[in-house]
Amino acid sequence: MRRAILAVVLAAQLAQGQQSPPILTKGNFTFTSTTQLVIVNVSVKDKDGNAIEGLKASDFTVLEDGKPQKLNVFEYQRLEEAALPEPALQPRTAAAAPPTGGAKPLVATQIASAKAGEVKYKDRRLLVLFFDQASMPVSDQMRAQKAALKFLDTQMTKADVVAVMTFATDLRVVQDFTSDRDLLTQVVKKIGIGETGMADGSTGDDTEADTGDAFTQDDSEFNIFNTDRKLAALESAVKMLASLPEKKALVYFASGMNRTGIDNQAQLRATINAAIRSNVAFYPVDARGLVASAPIGDATKGSPGGRAMYSGGSQRTQLSNLQNQQETLDTLASDTGGKALLDNNDLSLGIVQAQKAISSYYILGYYSSNTALDGRYRRIKVSIARRLSAKLDYRSGYFASKEFRKFTSSDRERQLQEALMLGDPVTDLTLAVEVNYFRQGKDRYFVPVAVKIPGTDIELAKKGGAESTRLDFIGEVKDARGVLQGTVRDEITVKLKGGDAAELSRRNLAYDTGFTLPPGAYTLKFLARENETGKMGTFETKFTIPDLTAEQKYLPISSVVLSNQRENLDTALATAEKNRKLIAANPLVEDRQKLIPSVTRVFRKGQEMYVYLEAYQPGAESTQMMVARVSFFRGKVKAFESAPLPVTQGLNAKSKAVPVRFSLPLEKLRPGRYICQVNVVDPEARKFAVWRSPIVLLP
């Protein structure tokens, strides 16, 4: 399928922090080694489930991709199962004793690393308590804290060393690994209850409460409706633990994890792969416990309103939301060898099941004979030389590390192709992607794809009187059977002068491409590379193009595009391709003016919001009058409603599409979270369509 690159433009949005690149001076030489130490933790048990001790390194055979590997690290971790005695009732006054089995605790700093091959915590079980304050309301935070304290008081064993991490707006290590129970108790008690940070966005469904709360979170537009940052925080956490060869269990307290539809599936897979490489298993705990919700809500929230609470639709939506929020938790657990604790009021059991999963085991380490840092999956097979009736439990493989350097021009294409096909996606460059669809014919739809990259991720190089960078893009669309249906490959050069270059850190780069596809279910995988630093980012998402010709009950409409910017194609920052035929096919282009999709659905007070969609009148020969309006809701309270817009012309004779356009000033609305609702009514056909999406309005 052909595709059209329409334009790359600067979209003014929110400022983000930017890290300075390392400074290299002349005369410095850097030596690197591609030797990689691979750690495999092997549990060996007899037919009764008891650990088999006394094995030697010579008893094990390790194969990587079928090739024998020489063991350089061999240790046996003997873990005691007896619980510590309960603490005395009187308050502790003496100074804390130094922890056993490890270094002194590091408070609010980092996880102390180990040298290559060093077993830092001999005969110790490593547990991490991770509190996701961003996803938990106050009641769930209190419940999670109580569960952690119960575990420390009554269920912690002599073999346990525990670290504590929190995430609200950023990842914090509040306690390094220690076996000092009193110190851990103090740390957990000091975790701020009520610190919610970046809360999950509204869904806009029938279960939403009638509330007028304003949105006050000062955060990047790339994080407001997105769970990718939480997954990235978990990825950073497991990478901190990578240097420790022991088995690690990360107990993740959260109130589910919403997937909003603009999330990056590649980030989920990158987090899981990082955990596997670091020998970390996730044990998510749903801090809500056993949820038995009333069909129309309880006294903790306002009535949802509407007919759905009487028809059963509200209850079905509520149950579906709960299952979707738990699905990601279950995926994190099952794909890393852990187990999720869902629908259980005793949250401490989540820590206990992580504790019991790590019994005595062997640590095997080898330097892989395959020194290529290619990010490919490598299979591991471990066997015992002796003829023992034993059950071995170990990870079956891992993704090798990746190293991307500046290649010659002949190598660049190969690098992009390989990076796109990696099972372990690259997520160093932040991407947000929006996929829309517009009917062109009975079985043909134009699918514009909008990509947004924060300016803080872009490095510029000074050349002459301007600063510039080159960006490479590659992507593919596959159908539900995995058959390739479309590809894109482009590169652009962005040149900025004077103030525009200085403003880049507070702006975003927007990029557009498009595909022509029939109705069906698809997967889009897209990769971008910034060539000054070599950073790459991968975005993967599923989308569905409905067959609008089969719609009989409701008025068929296209995707609804929300925007705050129009761009003149003739003066755009960079135009990668000017194919007049394909540009003309894109309904977002009118009179050489391109409507730039918001992608992140974040707007600023004082901006103009543009709304565009197409309604379809299959049997019409001329435009049948329709009426459309746009409303904004805060919970179930209507905060704004536009005047009815009569649509009386514009029917496309071929696609039977009638364009519907709104331009709405946002200056009169208060900053906060809203549900944007679009209603279109066709009185003659007696049909209507309703579209809803959460948005955020910032000051």
User: Per-residue pLDDT for 519 more than 90?
Assistant: yes
CA angle (476, 481, 485) in 5-degree steps? 30
Please tell me the predicted confidence (pLDDT) of residue 32.
45
Relative to beta strand 248-254, strand 280-286 is: parallel
Name the residue among 118, 69, 578 with its Cα closest to residue 366.
69
Model confidence at 106, in pLDDT bands (50, 70, 90)?
very low
Answer for the pair 279, 248: CB distance below 8 angstroms, yes or no. Answer: yes
User: Per-residue pLDDT for 610 more than 90?
Assistant: yes
* Average confidence score pLDDT of the chain: 80
For the chain, give every domain's residue range: 1-16+409-554+572-588, 103-359, 601-699
Please tell me the predicted confidence (pLDDT) of residue 673.
87
pLDDT, mean of residues 339-366: 91
> Who has greater pLDDT, 187 or 319?
187
Alpha-carbon distance of 344 to 559, in angstroms, equals: 40
Q: SS3 for 59? A: helix
User: Per-residue pLDDT for 627 more than 60?
Assistant: yes
Partners of residue 43 on adjacent β-strands: 393
- 34-77: pLDDT as tens digits: 467 899 999 998 888 888 898 999 999 999 999 999 999 999 99
Q: What 8-state DSSP symbol labels residue 639?
A: E
Answer for the pair 211, 195: CB distance below 8 angstroms, yes or no. Answer: no
Please tell me the predicted confidence (pLDDT) of residue 18.
37
- 69-102: pLDDT as tens digits: 999 999 999 988 777 777 765 444 433 444 444 3
Q: Which CATH architecture has domain 601-699?
A: Sandwich (2.60)
Backbone angles phi, psi at 82, to 5 degrees: -70, 130
Assess if CATH 3.10.520.10 describes domain 103-359. no
CA angle (384, 385, 388) in 5-degree steps? 65
Partners of residue 44 on adjacent β-strands: 392
Assess if CATH 1.10.1200.10 describes domain 1-16+409-554+572-588. no
Q: Check if 103-359 and 601-699 are the same fold.
A: no
Strand order across the beta sheet in which 391-393 lies: 71-77, 361-367, 37-45, 391-393
Residue that has been written with the tokens 């029938």 in this structure: 206
User: Per-residue pLDDT for 198 more than 50?
Assistant: no
| Lowest-confidence pick of 181-195, 209-223, 580-594 | 209-223
Strand order across the beta sheet in which 589-590 lies: 589-590, 593-597, 561-568, 608-616, 657-665
pLDDT, mean of residues 294-298: 58
User: Per-residue pLDDT for 616 more than 80?
Assistant: yes
pTM of the entire structure? 0.71
Read off the amino acid at residue 561: V
- 453-498: pLDDT as tens digits: 888 888 877 766 678 888 999 999 999 999 999 999 988 888 777 6
Q: SS3 for 543? A: strand
Give just the sign of the alpha carbon dihedral 367, 369, 372, 374: negative
Answer for the pair 457, 530: CB distance below 8 angstroms, yes or no. Answer: yes
Alpha-carbon distance of 123 to 362, in angstroms, equals: 10
Alpha-carbon distance of 71 to 111, in angstroms, equals: 27
Go through the chain and tell me how many residues it has.
699
Model confidence at 618, in pLDDT bands (50, 70, 90)?
confident
pLDDT, mean of residues 362-370: 92
User: Per-residue pLDDT for 557 more than 90?
Assistant: yes
Read off the amino acid at residue 523: T
- 302-328: pLDDT as tens digits: 555 555 555 555 566 666 666 777 888
Alpha-carbon distance of 249 to 159, in angstroms, equals: 14
Helical pair 138-150 and 348-357, crossing angle rounded to 10 deg:
50
